[in-house]
Amino acid sequence: MSKKLNQIEIKKRVKSDSIVSDLIVLDQVGSTQDYIFENLDSLKDGAVVIAESQSSGYGRMGRTWQSSYGKGLYMSMLFKNVFSSMKYSGFTMLGSLSLCYYLRLEYGFDFKMRWPNDVIFEDSKLAGVLANMKDGVISLGFGVNINQDLSELPDLATSILLITGKEIDRNIFIAGFLNQLQKDLNDWEAESFKHLRKLWLDFALFKGKEITAITRSGTIKGIVEDITEDCGLIIRGDMGYKIILSVLDLIKIR
């Protein structure tokens, strides 16, 4: 098993201007997303909850998030004071783009963001991001496969260990990522959608490519052109017409 999560080890590396207020490290939890909503009254804006394992971690569309003990990152962050241009739809994208940026900076590989919430490396999923909103507060959840080997991962998934061949110190990883996320939140606040789009142009897996999207209202085929301010995907269909695919409509994309 890799080195255990340690609150002090993480805290001492998180920059002092960070919005991270509390850092709660749990051994076992159902889901860090649910933990946030079950403890809303006692948690402050910026609270971060991390667990060694989750018994019922989940992702978009209620898909299971495999959370083997002591191997991955299972983390949720609470946003109580959402500033005006921070659109709910932007959180998932900002989270996954910020993660891509950090991973590329740290490990130098060509990580991509698969709209709207996945981090991909060579066709395999490395991480997923999930934003849940209730009564105006948002919990932003991150699942990253860090030190898992193949037997501990679902099909078509990979981990940082498998990509780099090196065991990662999760405490250092988490602190570094929280610092990167803070930087991207600041830039998002300052530049609004411009910042999201800049990151998307850098990291988008499908930009300029032909995709097939399975949606609630049918199948869409076309070339990905851009994103909208609401984080929809702008697709140019076969006949030259433009389709905007919303996150809420999407079932699967390839």
* Residues in contact with ligand BTN by the rule CB under 6 A: 31-33, 54, 57-60, 63, 65, 74-76, 117-118, 128-130, 141-143
Cβ proximity to ligand BTN: between 90 and 141 the closer is 141
In the bound complex, what is the minimum distance in angstroms from residue 65's beta carbon to ligand BTN? Answer: 4
- Of 39, 48, 53, 55, nearest to 75 by C-alpha is 48
Q: Which residue is nearest to ligand BTN (CB)?
A: 128
In the bound complex, what is the minimum distance in angstroms from residue 78's beta carbon to ligand BTN? Answer: 12
Cβ proximity to ligand BTN: between 190 and 214 the closer is 214
Which residues partner with 101 through β-bridges? none
CA–centroid distance for 71 within its chain: 17
CA–centroid distance for 156 within its chain: 17
Cβ proximity to ligand BTN: between 64 and 85 the closer is 64
Cβ proximity to ligand BTN: between 1 and 156 the closer is 156
* Alpha-carbon span 123 to 103, nearest angstrom: 16
In the bound complex, what is the minimum distance in angstroms from residue 26's beta carbon to ligand BTN? Answer: 11
How does DSSP assign 75-95, residue by residue? EEEEESS--TT--HHHHHHHH
In the bound complex, what is the minimum distance in angstroms from residue 84's beta carbon to ligand BTN? Answer: 26
Cβ proximity to ligand BTN: between 142 and 177 the closer is 142
* Alpha-carbon span 210 to 208, nearest angstrom: 7
In the bound complex, what is the minimum distance in angstroms from residue 161's beta carbon to ligand BTN? Answer: 18
Contact 178, 20 (CB under 8 A): yes
In the bound complex, what is the minimum distance in angstroms from residue 191's beta carbon to ligand BTN? Answer: 26
Pairing of strands 23-29, 48-54: parallel
In the bound complex, what is the minimum distance in angstroms from residue 201's beta carbon to ligand BTN? Answer: 22
Cβ proximity to ligand BTN: between 118 and 184 the closer is 118
How far is CA 10 from each of CA 7, 141, 173, 177, rounded to the nearest angstrom? 5, 18, 9, 11
- Of 73, 49, 70, nearest to 160 by C-alpha is 73
Cβ proximity to ligand BTN: between 117 and 159 the closer is 117
Contact 99, 144 (CB under 8 A): yes
